[in-house]
């Protein structure tokens, strides 16, 4: 077994998106542009309603999957497929945008704490023109492993006997949300073909067997390839562990569109402007 070690620690960058929602971006930045197959990772949240109340008004996507994981708060989702619902604490929205979707995510709360994550997963060329799919996962549908040392919520992949609801996916994703008690260890096996990272929400971890810089809150920890992850909590720590099989295709970006060529980006913009974008 080859232990997974730290490749690089990347501080999250404070920015905003939508109608001014404050967030911390860690993938999709100059220091971590694209971790194949992952295009973007945002932590959104605040105690101040003015930081999120304007939400994310209607906007398009093509060629990606957006995975939204709500830890605290409530948002209302609506999209051009007719899907509609309120995201509550612990829920997951897994949206495969394919050839095109127009959606909005607006606060269903007037006050209180908001906290959550949005991950963008690339789609291979053969799936980018598929009809959109929308998967809504309630918090009680997640796989959960709990013992005296840790809690592991499983959105995708499998840990011990806990299995995530997203299955048979082309990048074979692993998506765990882990709370690890002080001085306790978390270990899991990972395919050596996968790219992986840890997003540290709060606390401090020791990762692998080699010495590394101190890990602190709201940092992206990019990992070397290997097949065994061993982490130890220096204090009670909460983090995401995410991994996936690289797609290995060229990418072209144009805001909310991610395709393989610039011509396909221009086509997406044209489709959106002439009203044929989300017609199936």
131 domain-assigned: yes
15 domain-assigned: yes
1 domain-assigned: no
Alpha carbon separation from 188 to 45, 47, 64, 235 (Å, rounded): 29, 34, 28, 20
Overall pTM surpassing 0.85 (yes/no): yes
3-state secondary structure of 169: coil
pLDDT of residue 249: 98
pLDDT of residue 154: 98
Long-range contacts, stretch 83-92, CB < 8 angstroms, 24+ apart:
83/134, 83/136, 85/136, 88/139, 89/139, 90/138, 90/139, 90/140, 90/142, 90/153, 91/136, 91/137, 91/138, 91/139, 92/67, 92/68, 92/136, 92/137, 92/142, 92/155
203 domain-assigned: yes
186 domain-assigned: yes
Per the structure, how many domains does the chain have?
Answer: 1
Alpha carbon separation from 23 to 13, 161, 253 (Å, rounded): 8, 34, 21
C-alpha to C-alpha distance for 95 and 89, rounded to whole angstroms: 18
133 domain-assigned: yes
280 domain-assigned: no
pLDDT of residue 280: 62
| pLDDT, tens digit, 9 for 90 and up, residues 229-258 | 999 999 999 999 999 999 999 999 998 999
pLDDT of residue 225: 97
Residue range of the domain that includes 132:
6-274
**Where residue 157 sits, what CATH number does that domain have?**
2.60.120.10
243 domain-assigned: yes
3-state secondary structure of 142: coil
> For the chain, which ranges sit under pLDDT 70?
280
């Amino acid at each position: 077994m080859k232990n997974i070690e730290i490749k690089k620690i990347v501080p999250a960058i404070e920015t905003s998106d939508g109608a001014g929602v404050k967030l911390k971006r860690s993938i999709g930045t100059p220091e971590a542009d694209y971790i194949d197959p992952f295009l973007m990772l945002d932590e959104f949240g605040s105690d101040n309603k003015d930081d999120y109340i304007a939400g994310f008004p209607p906007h398009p996507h093509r060629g990606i999957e957006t995975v939204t994981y709500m830890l605290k708060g409530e948002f209302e989702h609506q999209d051009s497929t007719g899907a509609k619902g309120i995201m509550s604490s612990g829920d997951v929205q897994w949206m495969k945008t394919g050839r095109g979707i127009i959606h909005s995510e607006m606060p269903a709360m007037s006050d209180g704490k908001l906290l959550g994550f949005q991950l963008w997963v690339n789609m291979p060329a053969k799936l980018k023109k598929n009809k959109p799919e929308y998967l809504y996962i309630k918090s009680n549908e997640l796989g959960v492993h709990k013992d005296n040392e840790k809690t592991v919520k499983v959105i995708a992949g499998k840990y011990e006997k806990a299995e995530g609801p997203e299955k048979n996916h082309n990048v074979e994703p692993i998506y765990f949300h882990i709370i690890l008690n002080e001085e306790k260890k978390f270990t899991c096996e990972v395919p050596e073909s996968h790219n992986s990272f840890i997003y540290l929400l709060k606390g401090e971890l020791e990762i692998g067997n080699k010495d590394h810089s101190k890990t602190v809150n709201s940092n992206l920890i990019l990992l070397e390839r290997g097949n065994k992850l061993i982490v130890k909590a220096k204090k009670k720590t909460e983090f995401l562990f995410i991994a996936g099989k690289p797609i290995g295709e060229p990418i072209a970006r144009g805001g909310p569109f991610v395709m393989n060529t610039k011509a396909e980006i221009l086509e997406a913009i044209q489709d959106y402007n002439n009203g044929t974008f989300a017609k199936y």
